[in-house]
Structure 1
Amino acid sequence: MSHWEKKANGWVFISHASEDYEDVRVVRNYLEDRGFSALMFYLKSLEHESRKEQIKKLIRWEISARNIFVLCNSIHAQNSEWVQWESDYVKALPNKIYKTIDIVAFTDGKESELKKLDYLTKKATIYLSYTHKDKDKVDKISAHLNSLGYKVYDGSTALEGGDDIEEVMEQALSEAARNGVVLMFLSENAKRSKWFWDEKSRALHSGASIIPVVIDDVGIRDFPALRDKQFIDASKGLSDSILQLIEKEINYIDV
Protein backbone atom coordinates (compact mmCIF):
# COMPACT_ATOMS: atom_id res chain seq x y z
CA MET A 1 0.00 0.00 0.00
CA SER A 2 1.07 3.60 -0.55
CA HIS A 3 2.04 5.81 2.35
CA TRP A 4 -1.22 6.98 3.94
CA GLU A 5 -0.37 10.66 3.44
CA LYS A 6 -0.55 10.22 -0.34
CA LYS A 7 -4.29 9.73 0.15
CA ALA A 8 -4.75 12.56 2.65
CA ASN A 9 -7.90 14.69 2.53
CA GLY A 10 -5.67 17.75 2.41
CA TRP A 11 -2.15 18.95 3.13
CA VAL A 12 -1.95 21.35 6.06
CA PHE A 13 0.87 23.64 7.12
CA ILE A 14 0.41 24.61 10.78
CA SER A 15 2.05 27.90 11.68
CA HIS A 16 2.66 28.36 15.40
CA ALA A 17 4.96 29.68 18.10
CA SER A 18 7.13 27.10 19.84
CA GLU A 19 5.75 28.21 23.23
CA ASP A 20 2.32 26.89 22.17
CA TYR A 21 3.63 23.48 21.16
CA GLU A 22 1.40 21.34 23.39
CA ASP A 23 -1.81 23.12 22.36
CA VAL A 24 -0.79 22.99 18.70
CA ARG A 25 -0.33 19.23 18.99
CA VAL A 26 -4.04 19.05 19.82
CA VAL A 27 -4.80 20.91 16.59
CA ARG A 28 -2.53 18.62 14.58
CA ASN A 29 -4.05 15.47 16.09
CA TYR A 30 -7.57 16.76 15.40
CA LEU A 31 -6.69 17.22 11.73
CA GLU A 32 -4.89 13.89 11.41
CA ASP A 33 -7.84 12.07 12.99
CA ARG A 34 -9.93 13.48 10.13
CA GLY A 35 -7.58 12.27 7.43
CA PHE A 36 -5.41 15.34 6.86
CA SER A 37 -1.64 15.40 6.60
CA ALA A 38 -0.81 18.16 9.07
CA LEU A 39 2.74 19.48 9.42
CA MET A 40 3.93 21.12 12.63
CA PHE A 41 7.55 21.33 13.64
CA TYR A 42 10.19 23.18 15.55
CA LEU A 43 13.44 23.68 13.67
CA LYS A 44 16.42 23.98 15.97
CA SER A 45 18.28 25.52 13.06
CA LEU A 46 16.05 28.59 13.48
CA GLU A 47 18.35 29.51 16.34
CA HIS A 48 21.16 30.18 13.86
CA GLU A 49 20.82 33.59 12.25
CA SER A 50 23.32 32.65 9.54
CA ARG A 51 20.93 29.98 8.21
CA LYS A 52 17.88 32.23 8.08
CA GLU A 53 17.62 32.58 4.30
CA GLN A 54 18.15 28.86 3.71
CA ILE A 55 15.39 28.04 6.18
CA LYS A 56 13.04 30.56 4.59
CA LYS A 57 13.58 28.89 1.24
CA LEU A 58 12.68 25.49 2.70
CA ILE A 59 9.55 26.86 4.40
CA ARG A 60 8.44 28.62 1.20
CA TRP A 61 8.67 25.31 -0.65
CA GLU A 62 6.63 23.49 1.98
CA ILE A 63 3.92 26.16 2.27
CA SER A 64 3.62 26.31 -1.51
CA ALA A 65 3.29 22.52 -1.74
CA ARG A 66 0.42 22.38 0.78
CA ASN A 67 -3.07 23.60 0.00
CA ILE A 68 -4.18 24.52 3.54
CA PHE A 69 -2.59 26.94 6.00
CA VAL A 70 -3.70 26.95 9.65
CA LEU A 71 -2.47 29.78 11.86
CA CYS A 72 -2.47 28.97 15.57
CA ASN A 73 -2.81 32.48 16.88
CA SER A 74 -1.68 33.59 20.34
CA ILE A 75 0.31 36.31 22.04
CA HIS A 76 3.41 34.24 21.40
CA ALA A 77 2.51 33.84 17.72
CA GLN A 78 1.88 37.56 17.35
CA ASN A 79 5.33 38.23 18.76
CA SER A 80 7.02 35.62 16.59
CA GLU A 81 8.91 36.96 13.60
CA TRP A 82 8.67 33.58 11.89
CA VAL A 83 4.93 33.10 12.37
CA GLN A 84 4.20 36.58 11.05
CA TRP A 85 6.48 36.00 8.08
CA GLU A 86 4.79 32.68 7.27
CA SER A 87 1.36 34.29 7.49
CA ASP A 88 2.32 37.18 5.23
CA TYR A 89 3.91 34.79 2.74
CA VAL A 90 0.89 32.50 2.39
CA LYS A 91 -1.52 35.44 2.03
CA ALA A 92 0.35 36.47 -1.10
CA LEU A 93 -0.16 33.04 -2.70
CA PRO A 94 -3.19 32.23 -4.86
CA ASN A 95 -5.71 29.48 -4.10
CA LYS A 96 -4.68 28.74 -0.52
CA ILE A 97 -7.17 27.89 2.22
CA TYR A 98 -6.35 29.98 5.30
CA LYS A 99 -7.84 29.22 8.72
CA THR A 100 -7.06 30.74 12.12
CA ILE A 101 -7.34 28.94 15.45
CA ASP A 102 -7.27 31.07 18.60
CA ILE A 103 -4.99 29.25 21.02
CA VAL A 104 -5.86 31.75 23.77
CA ALA A 105 -9.49 30.59 23.57
CA PHE A 106 -8.33 27.06 24.43
CA THR A 107 -8.44 28.09 28.10
CA ASP A 108 -12.25 28.30 27.82
CA GLY A 109 -12.52 24.99 25.99
CA LYS A 110 -10.89 23.60 22.88
CA GLU A 111 -13.97 22.16 21.21
CA SER A 112 -15.46 25.36 19.77
CA GLU A 113 -12.14 26.42 18.26
CA LEU A 114 -11.38 23.00 16.81
CA LYS A 115 -14.80 22.87 15.18
CA LYS A 116 -13.67 25.73 12.95
CA LEU A 117 -11.57 23.12 11.19
CA ASP A 118 -14.60 20.97 10.38
CA TYR A 119 -15.19 23.22 7.38
CA LEU A 120 -12.20 21.56 5.76
CA THR A 121 -13.75 18.10 6.01
CA LYS A 122 -16.92 19.23 4.25
CA LYS A 123 -15.23 19.92 0.95
CA ALA A 124 -16.46 17.58 -1.74
CA THR A 125 -14.66 14.58 -3.18
CA ILE A 126 -13.97 15.04 -6.87
CA TYR A 127 -13.44 11.93 -8.98
CA LEU A 128 -11.62 12.66 -12.24
CA SER A 129 -12.50 10.25 -15.04
CA TYR A 130 -10.26 10.51 -18.10
CA THR A 131 -7.91 8.62 -20.33
CA HIS A 132 -4.21 8.79 -19.51
CA LYS A 133 -3.47 10.38 -22.88
CA ASP A 134 -5.29 13.50 -21.67
CA LYS A 135 -3.41 13.69 -18.37
CA ASP A 136 -1.56 16.91 -19.22
CA LYS A 137 -4.87 18.73 -19.72
CA VAL A 138 -6.53 17.24 -16.65
CA ASP A 139 -3.56 17.94 -14.36
CA LYS A 140 -4.24 21.68 -14.48
CA ILE A 141 -7.80 21.16 -13.24
CA SER A 142 -6.64 18.67 -10.62
CA ALA A 143 -4.06 21.12 -9.25
CA HIS A 144 -6.65 23.91 -9.14
CA LEU A 145 -9.20 21.80 -7.24
CA ASN A 146 -6.54 20.54 -4.84
CA SER A 147 -5.55 24.11 -4.07
CA LEU A 148 -9.16 24.87 -3.12
CA GLY A 149 -9.24 22.04 -0.60
CA TYR A 150 -11.24 19.45 -2.49
CA LYS A 151 -10.29 15.81 -2.10
CA VAL A 152 -9.32 14.89 -5.65
CA TYR A 153 -9.08 11.33 -6.93
CA ASP A 154 -7.86 10.16 -10.29
CA GLY A 155 -7.03 6.76 -11.69
CA SER A 156 -3.27 7.19 -11.37
CA THR A 157 -3.61 7.15 -7.57
CA ALA A 158 -4.83 3.58 -7.64
CA LEU A 159 -1.79 2.44 -9.59
CA GLU A 160 0.70 3.53 -6.93
CA GLY A 161 2.30 1.09 -4.56
CA GLY A 162 0.42 -2.02 -5.66
CA ASP A 163 -3.05 -0.85 -4.64
CA ASP A 164 -6.02 -2.93 -5.79
CA ILE A 165 -7.24 -0.63 -8.55
CA GLU A 166 -10.75 -2.11 -8.64
CA GLU A 167 -11.22 -1.68 -4.91
CA VAL A 168 -9.79 1.85 -4.81
CA MET A 169 -11.92 2.93 -7.78
CA GLU A 170 -15.11 1.62 -6.20
CA GLN A 171 -14.33 3.30 -2.87
CA ALA A 172 -13.57 6.62 -4.54
CA LEU A 173 -16.72 6.51 -6.67
CA SER A 174 -18.81 5.65 -3.60
CA GLU A 175 -17.34 8.61 -1.75
CA ALA A 176 -17.98 10.92 -4.72
CA ALA A 177 -21.57 9.66 -4.85
CA ARG A 178 -22.06 10.45 -1.15
CA ASN A 179 -20.25 13.78 -1.04
CA GLY A 180 -19.08 15.09 -4.37
CA VAL A 181 -19.14 14.71 -8.12
CA VAL A 182 -17.48 12.95 -11.02
CA LEU A 183 -15.79 15.17 -13.58
CA MET A 184 -15.79 13.17 -16.81
CA PHE A 185 -13.37 14.45 -19.44
CA LEU A 186 -14.59 13.73 -22.96
CA SER A 187 -12.19 13.65 -25.89
CA GLU A 188 -11.27 11.74 -29.02
CA ASN A 189 -8.78 9.82 -26.86
CA ALA A 190 -11.50 8.93 -24.36
CA LYS A 191 -13.80 7.76 -27.14
CA ARG A 192 -11.19 5.18 -28.15
CA SER A 193 -10.28 4.08 -24.61
CA LYS A 194 -11.76 0.82 -23.31
CA TRP A 195 -10.68 1.81 -19.80
CA PHE A 196 -12.58 5.09 -20.02
CA TRP A 197 -15.82 3.41 -21.14
CA ASP A 198 -15.56 0.91 -18.29
CA GLU A 199 -14.93 3.71 -15.79
CA LYS A 200 -17.85 5.70 -17.21
CA SER A 201 -20.17 2.72 -16.70
CA ARG A 202 -19.02 2.34 -13.11
CA ALA A 203 -19.55 6.05 -12.47
CA LEU A 204 -23.09 5.93 -13.86
CA HIS A 205 -23.84 2.81 -11.81
CA SER A 206 -22.54 4.48 -8.62
CA GLY A 207 -25.28 7.09 -8.75
CA ALA A 208 -22.79 9.95 -8.49
CA SER A 209 -23.52 13.33 -10.03
CA ILE A 210 -21.57 13.61 -13.28
CA ILE A 211 -20.30 16.77 -14.94
CA PRO A 212 -19.01 16.10 -18.47
CA VAL A 213 -16.12 18.33 -19.58
CA VAL A 214 -15.39 18.38 -23.32
CA ILE A 215 -11.67 19.01 -23.83
CA ASP A 216 -11.28 18.76 -27.61
CA ASP A 217 -13.46 18.69 -30.74
CA VAL A 218 -15.30 15.49 -29.80
CA GLY A 219 -19.09 15.74 -29.72
CA ILE A 220 -21.18 15.11 -26.62
CA ARG A 221 -23.41 12.90 -28.79
CA ASP A 222 -20.53 10.46 -29.14
CA PHE A 223 -21.25 9.52 -25.51
CA PRO A 224 -24.93 8.46 -25.57
CA ALA A 225 -25.37 8.06 -21.80
CA LEU A 226 -24.23 11.65 -21.25
CA ARG A 227 -26.20 13.39 -24.01
CA ASP A 228 -28.83 14.80 -21.68
CA LYS A 229 -26.37 16.15 -19.13
CA GLN A 230 -25.29 19.77 -19.04
CA PHE A 231 -21.64 19.85 -20.02
CA ILE A 232 -18.74 22.28 -19.84
CA ASP A 233 -17.07 23.16 -23.12
CA ALA A 234 -13.33 23.41 -22.52
CA SER A 235 -12.42 22.51 -26.10
CA LYS A 236 -10.66 25.85 -26.62
CA GLY A 237 -8.42 25.41 -23.60
CA LEU A 238 -8.52 25.54 -19.81
CA SER A 239 -8.68 29.27 -19.16
CA ASP A 240 -9.26 30.76 -15.71
CA SER A 241 -12.90 31.31 -16.62
CA ILE A 242 -13.30 27.60 -17.42
CA LEU A 243 -11.71 26.66 -14.08
CA GLN A 244 -14.12 29.01 -12.30
CA LEU A 245 -17.06 27.52 -14.20
CA ILE A 246 -16.03 24.00 -13.17
CA GLU A 247 -15.80 25.09 -9.54
CA LYS A 248 -19.20 26.79 -9.78
CA GLU A 249 -20.82 23.64 -11.18
CA ILE A 250 -19.24 21.51 -8.44
CA ASN A 251 -20.50 23.84 -5.72
CA TYR A 252 -23.96 23.95 -7.28
CA ILE A 253 -24.28 20.17 -7.19
CA ASP A 254 -22.62 19.90 -3.77
CA VAL A 255 -25.20 22.28 -2.24
Structure 2
Amino acid sequence: MVPPKTRSSGPVTTETTRDIFLFIPNLIGYSRVVLAMASIAVMRYHPKVCTWLYSVSCLLDAFDGAAARKYGQSTKFGAVLDMVTDRCTTSSLICFLCCAYPTYAIFFQFLVSLDLASHYMHMVAMLSTGAGSHKKVEKESSRLLSLYYTNTRVLFVVCAANELFFVALYLASFPLRSPPHLGYLFGIPLSYKTILAVTTFPIWFFKQVLNVIQMVRAAQTLALFDIEERARTGAATAKSK
Protein backbone atom coordinates (compact mmCIF):
# COMPACT_ATOMS: atom_id res chain seq x y z
CA MET A 1 0.00 0.00 0.00
CA VAL A 2 1.51 3.32 -1.06
CA PRO A 3 1.34 5.98 1.71
CA PRO A 4 -0.61 9.12 0.82
CA LYS A 5 1.24 12.23 -0.22
CA THR A 6 1.31 15.26 1.99
CA ARG A 7 -1.65 17.59 1.49
CA SER A 8 -0.68 21.20 1.16
CA SER A 9 -2.12 24.37 -0.30
CA GLY A 10 1.41 25.69 -0.87
CA PRO A 11 4.11 24.56 -3.31
CA VAL A 12 3.81 21.05 -4.74
CA THR A 13 5.94 18.51 -2.84
CA THR A 14 7.01 14.98 -3.65
CA GLU A 15 7.47 14.06 0.03
CA THR A 16 5.29 11.30 1.44
CA THR A 17 4.43 10.25 4.97
CA ARG A 18 7.13 7.60 4.65
CA ASP A 19 9.72 10.34 4.12
CA ILE A 20 8.54 12.14 7.26
CA PHE A 21 8.68 8.94 9.30
CA LEU A 22 12.26 8.30 8.13
CA PHE A 23 13.62 11.76 8.93
CA ILE A 24 16.83 11.54 10.97
CA PRO A 25 15.41 13.14 14.17
CA ASN A 26 12.44 10.78 14.01
CA LEU A 27 14.77 7.78 13.68
CA ILE A 28 16.52 9.00 16.81
CA GLY A 29 13.09 9.24 18.42
CA TYR A 30 12.33 5.61 17.58
CA SER A 31 15.62 4.51 19.17
CA ARG A 32 14.60 6.40 22.30
CA VAL A 33 11.34 4.45 22.39
CA VAL A 34 13.15 1.12 22.05
CA LEU A 35 15.64 1.99 24.81
CA ALA A 36 12.85 3.22 27.09
CA MET A 37 10.86 0.01 26.56
CA ALA A 38 13.96 -2.06 27.33
CA SER A 39 14.58 -0.10 30.53
CA ILE A 40 10.98 -0.65 31.63
CA ALA A 41 11.29 -4.39 30.93
CA VAL A 42 14.23 -4.77 33.35
CA MET A 43 13.22 -2.02 35.80
CA ARG A 44 12.17 -4.38 38.55
CA TYR A 45 15.16 -6.70 38.46
CA HIS A 46 18.23 -4.92 37.09
CA PRO A 47 18.55 -1.37 38.45
CA LYS A 48 21.96 -0.69 36.90
CA VAL A 49 21.00 -1.93 33.45
CA CYS A 50 17.70 -0.08 33.66
CA THR A 51 19.44 3.15 34.68
CA TRP A 52 21.87 2.98 31.76
CA LEU A 53 19.14 2.26 29.22
CA TYR A 54 16.88 4.95 30.68
CA SER A 55 19.71 7.51 30.79
CA VAL A 56 20.77 6.92 27.18
CA SER A 57 17.15 7.22 26.05
CA CYS A 58 16.86 10.56 27.84
CA LEU A 59 20.24 11.81 26.55
CA LEU A 60 19.21 11.15 22.96
CA ASP A 61 16.47 13.71 23.51
CA ALA A 62 19.18 16.37 23.19
CA PHE A 63 20.19 15.10 19.75
CA ASP A 64 16.90 14.77 17.89
CA GLY A 65 16.21 18.50 18.15
CA ALA A 66 19.75 19.34 17.02
CA ALA A 67 19.37 16.96 14.07
CA ALA A 68 16.03 18.52 13.14
CA ARG A 69 17.57 21.99 13.05
CA LYS A 70 20.72 20.88 11.22
CA TYR A 71 18.95 18.97 8.44
CA GLY A 72 15.84 21.16 8.24
CA GLN A 73 13.63 18.26 9.35
CA SER A 74 11.49 19.87 12.05
CA THR A 75 7.99 18.37 11.89
CA LYS A 76 4.83 18.33 13.97
CA PHE A 77 5.04 14.53 14.05
CA GLY A 78 8.57 14.73 15.46
CA ALA A 79 7.53 17.28 18.08
CA VAL A 80 4.63 15.10 19.23
CA LEU A 81 6.79 11.95 19.17
CA ASP A 82 9.36 13.71 21.33
CA MET A 83 6.76 14.94 23.80
CA VAL A 84 4.92 11.60 24.02
CA THR A 85 8.17 9.67 24.52
CA ASP A 86 9.24 11.99 27.34
CA ARG A 87 5.91 11.78 29.11
CA CYS A 88 5.53 8.00 28.77
CA THR A 89 9.10 7.35 29.92
CA THR A 90 8.89 9.57 32.98
CA SER A 91 5.40 8.32 33.86
CA SER A 92 6.55 4.70 33.71
CA LEU A 93 9.38 5.42 36.13
CA ILE A 94 7.06 7.28 38.51
CA CYS A 95 4.60 4.36 38.37
CA PHE A 96 7.41 2.12 39.62
CA LEU A 97 8.06 4.59 42.45
CA CYS A 98 4.39 4.24 43.46
CA CYS A 99 5.04 0.55 44.05
CA ALA A 100 8.47 1.07 45.63
CA TYR A 101 7.17 3.73 48.04
CA PRO A 102 3.48 2.87 48.60
CA THR A 103 3.22 5.38 51.46
CA TYR A 104 3.84 8.19 48.97
CA ALA A 105 1.81 6.71 46.11
CA ILE A 106 -0.71 9.58 46.16
CA PHE A 107 2.12 12.10 45.88
CA PHE A 108 3.60 10.31 42.88
CA GLN A 109 0.16 10.00 41.28
CA PHE A 110 -0.23 13.75 41.62
CA LEU A 111 3.14 14.28 39.92
CA VAL A 112 2.15 12.06 36.98
CA SER A 113 -1.16 13.87 36.60
CA LEU A 114 0.49 17.29 36.74
CA ASP A 115 3.15 16.28 34.23
CA LEU A 116 0.71 14.78 31.72
CA ALA A 117 -1.93 17.49 32.08
CA SER A 118 0.45 20.44 31.77
CA HIS A 119 2.32 19.09 28.76
CA TYR A 120 -0.80 17.88 26.94
CA MET A 121 -2.57 21.20 27.42
CA HIS A 122 0.57 23.08 26.38
CA MET A 123 0.97 21.01 23.21
CA VAL A 124 -2.69 21.48 22.21
CA ALA A 125 -2.54 25.20 22.99
CA MET A 126 0.59 25.76 20.90
CA LEU A 127 -0.67 23.75 17.93
CA SER A 128 -4.09 25.45 18.12
CA THR A 129 -2.49 28.88 17.82
CA GLY A 130 -0.38 27.78 14.85
CA ALA A 131 2.94 27.98 16.68
CA GLY A 132 4.10 24.83 14.89
CA SER A 133 6.14 23.64 17.88
CA HIS A 134 5.53 23.39 21.62
CA LYS A 135 8.93 25.02 22.14
CA LYS A 136 8.03 28.33 20.46
CA VAL A 137 7.01 30.18 23.61
CA GLU A 138 7.07 33.99 23.49
CA LYS A 139 8.43 36.02 26.41
CA GLU A 140 5.15 37.92 26.55
CA SER A 141 3.39 34.69 27.48
CA SER A 142 5.82 33.65 30.22
CA ARG A 143 9.45 34.59 30.71
CA LEU A 144 10.23 31.41 32.62
CA LEU A 145 8.61 29.14 30.04
CA SER A 146 10.29 31.06 27.22
CA LEU A 147 13.68 30.67 28.90
CA TYR A 148 13.02 26.98 29.50
CA TYR A 149 11.96 26.15 25.96
CA THR A 150 14.16 28.50 23.91
CA ASN A 151 17.46 28.17 25.80
CA THR A 152 18.80 24.70 24.99
CA ARG A 153 21.21 24.69 27.94
CA VAL A 154 18.50 25.54 30.45
CA LEU A 155 16.18 22.97 28.87
CA PHE A 156 18.85 20.26 29.07
CA VAL A 157 19.86 21.00 32.68
CA VAL A 158 16.28 21.18 33.97
CA CYS A 159 15.15 18.03 32.16
CA ALA A 160 18.30 16.11 33.15
CA ALA A 161 17.98 17.10 36.82
CA ASN A 162 14.30 16.19 36.81
CA GLU A 163 15.01 12.71 35.46
CA LEU A 164 18.06 12.20 37.70
CA PHE A 165 16.00 12.98 40.80
CA PHE A 166 13.51 10.25 39.91
CA VAL A 167 16.36 7.89 39.00
CA ALA A 168 17.97 8.53 42.40
CA LEU A 169 14.69 7.62 44.13
CA TYR A 170 14.46 4.54 41.94
CA LEU A 171 17.98 3.37 42.83
CA ALA A 172 17.41 4.13 46.51
CA SER A 173 14.46 1.72 46.53
CA PHE A 174 16.86 -1.20 46.17
CA PRO A 175 18.62 -2.41 49.34
CA LEU A 176 22.32 -1.65 49.71
CA ARG A 177 24.56 -4.66 49.16
CA SER A 178 27.33 -3.10 51.23
CA PRO A 179 27.45 -0.34 53.88
CA PRO A 180 27.75 3.21 52.54
CA HIS A 181 31.30 4.58 52.49
CA LEU A 182 30.46 8.28 52.43
CA GLY A 183 29.65 8.71 56.11
CA TYR A 184 26.49 10.05 57.70
CA LEU A 185 24.66 13.39 57.72
CA PHE A 186 22.19 13.98 60.56
CA GLY A 187 22.06 10.23 61.04
CA ILE A 188 21.22 9.61 57.36
CA PRO A 189 23.66 7.27 55.60
CA LEU A 190 25.22 9.01 52.63
CA SER A 191 25.62 7.34 49.27
CA TYR A 192 25.75 8.50 45.68
CA LYS A 193 21.99 7.93 45.56
CA THR A 194 21.18 10.29 48.40
CA ILE A 195 23.69 12.89 47.18
CA LEU A 196 22.19 12.72 43.69
CA ALA A 197 18.67 13.15 45.07
CA VAL A 198 19.64 16.09 47.30
CA THR A 199 21.61 17.96 44.61
CA THR A 200 18.93 17.59 41.94
CA PHE A 201 15.97 18.32 44.23
CA PRO A 202 15.99 22.15 43.81
CA ILE A 203 15.94 21.92 40.01
CA TRP A 204 13.36 19.12 40.17
CA PHE A 205 11.14 21.36 42.31
CA PHE A 206 11.63 24.21 39.82
CA LYS A 207 10.45 21.86 37.06
CA GLN A 208 7.23 21.15 38.97
CA VAL A 209 6.64 24.89 39.35
CA LEU A 210 7.15 25.22 35.59
CA ASN A 211 4.57 22.49 35.03
CA VAL A 212 2.01 24.47 37.03
CA ILE A 213 2.82 27.70 35.17
CA GLN A 214 2.66 25.83 31.86
CA MET A 215 -0.76 24.38 32.63
CA VAL A 216 -2.18 27.75 33.71
CA ARG A 217 -0.77 29.54 30.64
CA ALA A 218 -2.06 26.80 28.34
CA ALA A 219 -5.54 27.10 29.85
CA GLN A 220 -5.50 30.86 29.31
CA THR A 221 -4.27 30.46 25.72
CA LEU A 222 -7.00 27.94 24.91
CA ALA A 223 -9.66 30.18 26.47
CA LEU A 224 -8.47 33.17 24.40
CA PHE A 225 -8.51 30.96 21.30
CA ASP A 226 -12.09 29.97 22.14
CA ILE A 227 -13.08 33.64 22.44
CA GLU A 228 -11.62 34.42 19.01
CA GLU A 229 -13.21 31.32 17.49
CA ARG A 230 -16.62 32.14 18.93
CA ALA A 231 -16.32 35.73 17.70
CA ARG A 232 -15.60 34.50 14.15
CA THR A 233 -18.54 32.10 14.15
CA GLY A 234 -20.87 34.56 15.85
CA ALA A 235 -21.58 32.19 18.73
CA ALA A 236 -20.95 34.83 21.38
CA THR A 237 -23.30 37.32 19.65
CA ALA A 238 -26.03 34.70 19.27
CA LYS A 239 -25.83 33.83 22.96
CA SER A 240 -26.07 37.50 24.03
CA LYS A 241 -29.31 37.86 22.08
TM over 0.5: no
TM-score, normalised via structure 2 length: 0.26
Identify the structure with the greater helix proportion.
Answer: 2
